[in-house]
A and B are shown apart, each in its own frame.
Chain A
Amino acid sequence: EVQLVESGGGLVKPGGSLRLSCAASGFTFSSYSMNWVRQAPGKGLEWVSSISSSSSYIYYADSVKGRFTISRDNAKNSLYLQMNSLRAEDTAVYYCAREVGSGGTGGFDYWGQGTLVTVSS
């Protein structure tokens, strides 16, 4: 069974940092591109970042570029999101999601349960 389990969320002050993790199981993690998607309270979905299977290709939303860093450790079946210089507008539930199909043609077929990040003083 495919499982994605996020952790690392919590309350952080503006300007602070947080590192999210996503533990993957039930599939060959190293064969898939992975993504982070967030959802602010009561709002829609926002794609945050993508990393290819071998970390060769990395992309970010403009809203987080220069502040967030996506990475992965295929030996540990884990995905990460290092979030620096956090702002109130980064407050959201953060989901990791598996991308299926070449070039994302299959969409995001498995999602974690999400981890809440709250940026507030």
Chain B
Amino acid sequence: DIQLTQSPSFLSASVGDRVTITCRASQGISSYLAWYQQKPGKAPKLLIYAASTLQSGVPSRFSGSGSGTEFTLTISSLQPEDFATYYCQQLNSYPFTFGPGTKVDIK
């Protein structure tokens, strides 16, 4: 099975900050990676798919990059509504594993 790690696990940031989250896969997954945002008590929301394609309706301050084993999610200017937990997911092969999550909190 492909394992995903995320760093950091937790980050504290201020409104307007640039935030970068890294996701690493235990083996190459080409660009078969998605990023999700989840707020407490809510279902996850798809932000990015195919590593760098912005899902329709998602603000352009979100961007994704990477291929192979290392990927990043960047929020260019953090907004109040962006405080949430972010998960990466690999869709290269079953099981479609998720990363452990990165919680973005208010500084």
The answer to whether A108 and B34 have CB atoms under 8 Å apart is yes
Asked if B59 CB lies within 8 Å of chain A CBs, one says no
A77: min CB distance to chain B, Å: 19
Contacts of A35 in B (CB 8 A): 96
Q: Given A95, A104, A114, which contacts B96 in the complex, CB threshold below 8 Å?
A: A104
Of chain A, the residue at the smallest CB distance from B48 is: A107
CA distance A74 to B72 in the complex (A): 37
CA distance A35 to B98 in the complex (A): 13
Q: Given A37, A106, A114, which contacts B49 in the complex, CB threshold below 8 Å?
A: A106
CA distance A90 to B100 in the complex (A): 18
The answer to whether A111 and B91 have CB atoms under 8 Å apart is no
The answer to whether A109 and B94 have CB atoms under 8 Å apart is no
Contacts of B101 in A (CB 8 A): 44-45
Which of B32, B44, B55, B97 has the largest number of chain A CB atoms within 10 A?
B44
B87: min CB distance to chain A, Å: 6
Interface of B toward A, CB cutoff 8 Å = 1, 32, 34, 36, 38, 43-46, 48-50, 55, 87, 89, 91, 94-101
Q: A95-B44, A104-B32, A107-B36 are in contact. List 10 more A-B contacts (CB 8 A).
A: A37-B44, A44-B100, A45-B36, A45-B89, A45-B98, A47-B96, A62-B95, A106-B49, A109-B55, A114-B43
Interface of A toward B, CB cutoff 8 Å = 35, 37, 44-47, 50, 59-62, 95, 100-101, 103-109, 111-114
